């Protein structure tokens, strides 16, 4: 299943907040067409939001601490100096390496980082290809290692566009009043020309290669939108108070024009892809374009990342995809597994992402292997002795300095290497924290702060880390020290600024003196503008974590008075008031946070808790689903959803939500307690409940050890969160069956189940026609209600008493109504697989009523609403029991069986080992027998 050709397009920093108005006004027609014929949604980013790390996660499906790309730079191989990050630091295979091992041919253009180009089966054009590092008219040689294979160097070199070749007419589309600008003084036009030239170059290379070279997979990366935004987002409407009116009028069209420009180039790319190609367009993060745009960029390495938004974009369009639908809960880690699924290749268990199965029109049959890194074979990666020319590294470093991604390297080569290593360790610690591995991050941050005590960011991150592991008391003195020193630095800067002002006033030539002192004044103004009261907010967080709510509110109020107003501040205030049982005040604070940032998931979690506390279960469930739609990896949202669904009687859905919560974070004891309660009191499975009780106890022990600082770094608390829960779960449930092997058929009983009149007879007919033996005694003959027969066995009615006889019928399918499933006989020698059909409950009740009315039964029947509620609760309990016993279940919708029988037949065939005749199965479906239908009603197990 799935397309054998895929095109992955990367638009760095693309954001729906800018795109939607352009789509609505018809100015991005190619993207609009892609969305209309596919699915779209947010793509959750990772911390830290640094592009080389993120694009490597997209290409590998793994977090940065696994793949090894940890920033913009890295030390030189001899430990001297620094160089731009290269793919030589990557520790794992990318999607193109995996495809290479499976005889697929790839084109990779401009991916960051992809220098030096890897010797893959296909073509790789590295991220150093497009940069013009020589003046116009001078020789512009291609750097070594930029192109693989070498036969394409000459042709691809000729496709490059120099910034000074960019047509003035094209520039006026970005800056209509171009003629008014004095380019001797205003170098922003030069920057704009570089971005346009680089973007055009990448597109020309990609379209030429797609046209002339054979390919199965193509990946094309554009950094243009990110650079347009970093250079010109301050001028994007609405007008910001700190932006000069003249600058705003000149450059207000640049960002929107940049997006329109990318849409034009998208059209050229799509023209080179045939109709059978699956196209995936993604961005690694978004970019603040509204009132959340920061007025000041932090004066630290990678400071411009403060302008990034945690939600990028994803669009998936292709022959196997859904049409014009929204995609929820997607992460950039999901892209690589999804592409593997398109090529019908297994997903690796050591990947952190999942297949975006909801993008597919029909769910793919996802297979798994432990790791692609353990699979031998030619993968097109670099030999171990590969290296990069230091001179070329120097050119690329200068470009990173220009763009503001890094500081100018120290001339002392040893210090420069230490600086690069420092940033790698800092980014590694942040990647660990983003994955919930705070124990791994802690020693890195402690070491960084000891070596560089004046780098406040290390102290702040360390304080966050201590707070996350419940050691808030340790974080408070760190924060107080930072607050004191920051305040002192601001005061010193203000004093020196006053002295410089006096010096200017006393000078003979004030203008000359001001120009002489300008660099120092600019630096001091930057230092003086740093608001130390931001630390008050963090001190409040520390007090709150210690249970000192009075001081927490004092610090939060101090931060607010110091003009440190943010969504996070109001979230924290709301949390304090929530603990003080002042729920209305708490709700006001959470809503204040959302008025600042409508996508703040912490504020949404607070509102969800308040709704649960007020027993507003359905509203709480909807709130939790809103959070999950934005950020799928949110264990508390899954926990709260599970609590709400439990109260609503949706036990199976509740269990699934709770298990997702502990897969994402196995150290929340309350989740295990909730699961234990459900299994003991609702499902009467005390052994399973006891297992969850033990897991809750273990989680509490780990948390206590971590708070005391006695938990070893290599402990279970620091294992990838899914591994710990899965290792426990397999002891409870045993290994779940994945796909039925042909040799397992004889010892497997296939149960066809559902509520009476849900379509079980139809499924039995399909299985019989497909060649699967069915167990039926034909005691009840066909009639008007079931013209093709009931396919029953009379012994099934007595399963609650004598059921042992069923064990003798391995290798057959038998019909069992849903209410009798708990009475199936258990045995070590027989396996079960359940094909469970669901149908709209109103249709079921209508069909049952018509059937009973023909039998002249005058017994008074209960109201349909009461029956419907009873059936619903029975279904939920049965689903939960199925999940508890780890029996493989294929859930089908009756409507699909009738309207799309070929798809259903394919699903059943895969589920039962691929031995059935699908055409014969489809041939027995008679849509005219679908007589009791309610098209407008939701499915019987409808989602929220």
Mean pLDDT of 841-855: 70
The residue with greater pLDDT, 819 or 859, is 819
Place of tokens 């100015």: 27
DSSP string, 368-385: EES-GGGS-S---PPPTT
pLDDT for residue 935 is more than 50:
no
pLDDT at 588: 96
Residue 515 parent element (H or E): helix 510-528
CA 693 to chain CA centroid, Å, is 31
Q: Where are the beta strands (DSSP E) in 366-459?
A: 368-369
Mean pLDDT of 837-864: 67
- % of residues, the chain, pLDDT over 90: 50
pLDDT per position as a tens digit, 442-487 = 999 999 999 999 888 999 899 989 888 888 888 888 888 887 887 7
pLDDT at 943: 35
Mean pLDDT of 484-499: 79
CA 379 to chain CA centroid, Å, is 27
**Do residues 281 and 9 make contact, with C-beta atoms less than 8 angstroms apart?**
yes
∠ CA 313-314-317, nearest 5°, is 145
- Rounded Cα gap, residues 567 and 564, in angstroms: 10
β-sheet bridge partners, residue 279:
7, 317
Q: Is the dihedral of CA 175, 176, 178, 180 positive or negative?
A: negative
pLDDT at 373: 96
74 CB neighbour count, 10 Å cutoff: 24
pLDDT at 717: 41
Lowest mean pLDDT: which of 213-222, 776-785, 873-882? 873-882
Mean pLDDT of 157-184: 93
pLDDT at 2: 40
pLDDT at 618: 94
Lowest mean pLDDT: which of 344-358, 883-897, 909-923? 883-897
Confidence of residue 409 (pLDDT cuts 50, 70, 90): low
Return the SS3 of 9.
Answer: strand
- Rounded Cα gap, residues 78 and 658, in angstroms: 50
pLDDT for residue 223 is more than 90:
yes
b/e for 398-432, b at 16 or more Cβ within 10 A? Answer: ebbeebebbbebeeebeebbbbbbbbbbbbbbbbb
Q: Which candidate, 157, 135, 129, 291, places its Cα nearest to that of 223?
A: 129
pLDDT at 476: 83
pLDDT at 766: 93
The residue with greater pLDDT, 514 or 456, is 456
The residue with greater pLDDT, 504 or 114, is 114
pLDDT per position as a tens digit, 127-155 = 999 988 788 888 889 989 999 999 999 99
The residue with greater pLDDT, 120 or 399, is 120
Mean pLDDT of 500-521: 77
pLDDT per position as a tens digit, 568-598 = 899 999 999 999 999 999 999 999 999 999 9
pLDDT at 566: 83
- Rounded Cα gap, residues 748 and 772, in angstroms: 12
Confidence of residue 871 (pLDDT cuts 50, 70, 90): low
pLDDT per position as a tens digit, 347-365 = 999 999 999 998 999 888 8
pLDDT at 651: 87
pLDDT per position as a tens digit, 693-748 = 999 998 888 777 766 665 554 444 444 434 444 444 443 433 333 456 666 778 89
pLDDT per position as a tens digit, 183-202 = 888 889 999 999 999 999 99
pLDDT at 215: 97
Cis amide linkage into residue 149, ω under 30° from 0: yes
Q: Which candidate, 393, 411, 392, places its Cα nearest to that of 73?
A: 393
pLDDT, mean over the chain:
85
Long-range contacts of the stretch 568-572 (C-beta < 8 A, 24+) = 568/537, 568/593, 568/600, 568/602, 569/537, 569/593, 570/596, 570/603, 571/600, 571/602, 571/603, 571/606, 572/537, 572/540, 572/541, 572/544
Calculate the alpha carbon distances from 356 to 289, 321, 337, 362, 664 in Å: 28, 10, 8, 12, 17
- Rounded Cα gap, residues 789 and 192, in angstroms: 74
pLDDT for residue 394 is more than 70:
no
Q: Which candidate, 602, 673, 663, places its Cα nearest to that of 638?
A: 663
Lowest mean pLDDT: which of 156-160, 279-283, 503-507, 651-655? 503-507
């Amino acid at each position: 299943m799935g397309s054998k050709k895929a095109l992955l397009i990367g638009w760095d920093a693309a954001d729906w907040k800018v795109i939607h108005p352009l789509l609505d006004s018809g100015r991005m027609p190619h993207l609009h067409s892609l969305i209309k014929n596919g699915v779209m949604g947010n793509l959750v980013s990772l911390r830290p939001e640094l592009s080389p790390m993120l694009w490597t996660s997209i290409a590998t499906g793994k977090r940065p601490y696994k793949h090894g790309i940890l920033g913009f730079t890295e030390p030189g191989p001899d430990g001297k100096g620094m160089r731009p990050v290269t793919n030589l630091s990557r520790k794992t295979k990318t999607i193109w390496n995996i495809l290479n091992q499976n005889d697929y041919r790839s084109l990779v253009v401009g991916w960051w980082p992809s220098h030096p180009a890897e010797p893959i089966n296909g073509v790789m054009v590295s991220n150093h290809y497009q940069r013009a590092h020589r003046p116009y008219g001078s020789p512009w040689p291609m750097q070594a290692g930029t192109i693989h294979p070498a036969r394409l160097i000459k042709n691809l070199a000729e496709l490059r566009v120099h910034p000074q070749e960019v047509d003035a007419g094209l520039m006026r589309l970005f800056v209509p009043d171009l003629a008014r600008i004095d380019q001797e003084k205003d170098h922003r036009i030069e920057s704009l020309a570089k971005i346009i030239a680089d973007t055009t170059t990448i597109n020309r290379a990609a379209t030429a290669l797609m046209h002339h070279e054979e390919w199965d997979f193509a990946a094309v990366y554009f950094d243009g939108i990110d650079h347009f935004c970093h250079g010109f987002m301050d001028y994007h409407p609405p007008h910001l108070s700190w932006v000069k009116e003249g600058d705003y009028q000149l450059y207000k069209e640049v960002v929107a024009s940049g997006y329109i420009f990318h849409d034009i180039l998208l059209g050229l790319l799509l023209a080179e892809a045939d109709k059978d190609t699956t196209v995936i367009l993604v961005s690694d993060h978004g970019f603040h374009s509204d009132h959340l745009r920061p007025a000041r960029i932090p004066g630290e390495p990678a400071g411009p990342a403060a302008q990034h938004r945690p939600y990028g974009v994803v669009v998936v369009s292709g022959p196997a995809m859904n049409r014009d639908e929204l995609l929820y809960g997607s992460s950039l880690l999901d892209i690589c597994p999804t592409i593997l699924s398109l090529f019908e290749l297994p997903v690796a268990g050591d990947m952190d992402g999942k297949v975006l199965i909801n993008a597919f029109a029909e769910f793919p049959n996802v297979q798994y292997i432990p790791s692609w890194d353990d699979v031998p074979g030619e993968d097109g990666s670099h030999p171990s002795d590969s290296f990069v020319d230091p001179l070329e590294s120097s050119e690329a470093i200068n470009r990173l300095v220009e763009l503001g991604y890094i500081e100018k390297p120290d001339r002392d080569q040893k210090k420069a290497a230490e600086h690069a290593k420092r940033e790698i360790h800092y980014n590694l610690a942040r990647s660990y924290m983003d994955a919930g591995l705070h124990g791994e991050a802690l020693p890195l941050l402690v070491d960084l702060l000891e070596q560089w005590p004046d780098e406040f960011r290390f102290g702040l991150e360390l304080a966050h880390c201590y707070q996350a592991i419940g050691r808030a008391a340790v974080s408070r003195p760190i924060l107080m020290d930072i607050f004191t020193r920051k305040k002192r630095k601001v005061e010193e800067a203000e004093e020196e600024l006053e002295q410089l002002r006096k010096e200017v006033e006393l000078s003979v030539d004030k203008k000359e003196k001001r120009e002489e002192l300008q660099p120092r004044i600019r630096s001091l103004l930057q230092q003086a503008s740093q608001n130390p009261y931001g630390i008050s907010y963090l001190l409040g967080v520390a007090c709150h974590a210690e249970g000192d709510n009075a001081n927490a509110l004092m610090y939060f109020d101090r931060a607010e008075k110091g003009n440190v107003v943010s969504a996070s501040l109001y979230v924290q205030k709301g949390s304090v008031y929530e603990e003080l049982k002042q729920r209305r005040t708490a709700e006001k604070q959470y809503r204040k946070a959302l008025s600042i940032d409508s996508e703040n998931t912490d504020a949404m979690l607070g509102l969800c808790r308040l709704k649960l506390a007020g027993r507003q279960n359905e509203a709480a469930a909807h709130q939790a689903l809103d959070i999950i739609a934005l950020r799928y990896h949110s264990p508390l949202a899954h926990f709260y959803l599970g609590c709400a669904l439990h109260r609503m009687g949706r036990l199976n859905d509740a269990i699934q939500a709770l298990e997702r919560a502990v897969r994402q974070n196995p150290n929340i004891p309350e989740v295990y307690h909730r699961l234990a309660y459900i299994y003991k009191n609702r499902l009467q499975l005390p052994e399973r409940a006891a297992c969850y009780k033990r897991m809750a106890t273990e989680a509490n022990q780990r948390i206590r050890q971590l708070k005391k600082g006695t938990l070893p770094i290599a402990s279970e608390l620091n294992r990838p969160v899914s591994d710990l829960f899965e290792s426990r779960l397999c002891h409870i449930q045993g290994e779940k069956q994945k796909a039925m092997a042909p040799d397992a058929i004889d010892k497997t009983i296939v149960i066809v189940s559902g509520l009476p009149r849900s379509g079980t007879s139809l499924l039995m007919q399909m299985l019989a026609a497909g060649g699967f033996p069915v167990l039926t005694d034909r005691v009840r003959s066909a009639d008007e209600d079931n013209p093709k027969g009931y396919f029953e066995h009379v012994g099934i009615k007595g399963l609650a008493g004598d059921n042992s006889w069923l064990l003798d019928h391995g290798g057959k399918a038998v019909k069992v109504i849903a209410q009798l499933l708990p009475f199936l006989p258990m045995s070590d020698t027989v396996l079960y697989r359940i094909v469970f059909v669901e149908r709209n409950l109103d249709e079921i009740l209508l069909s049952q009523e018509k059937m009973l009315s023909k039998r002249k039964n005058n017994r008074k029947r209960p109201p349909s609403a009461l029956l419907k509620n009873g059936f619903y609760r029975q279904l939920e309990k049965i689903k939960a029991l199925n999940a508890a016993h780890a029996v493989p279940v294929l859930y089908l919708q009756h409507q699909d069986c009738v309207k799309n029988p070929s798809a259903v037949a394919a699903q059943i065939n895969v589920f039962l080992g691929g031995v059935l005749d699908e055409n014969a199965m489809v041939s027995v479906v008679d849509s005219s027998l679908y007589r009791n239908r309610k098209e407008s009603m939701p499915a019987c197990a409808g989602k929220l």
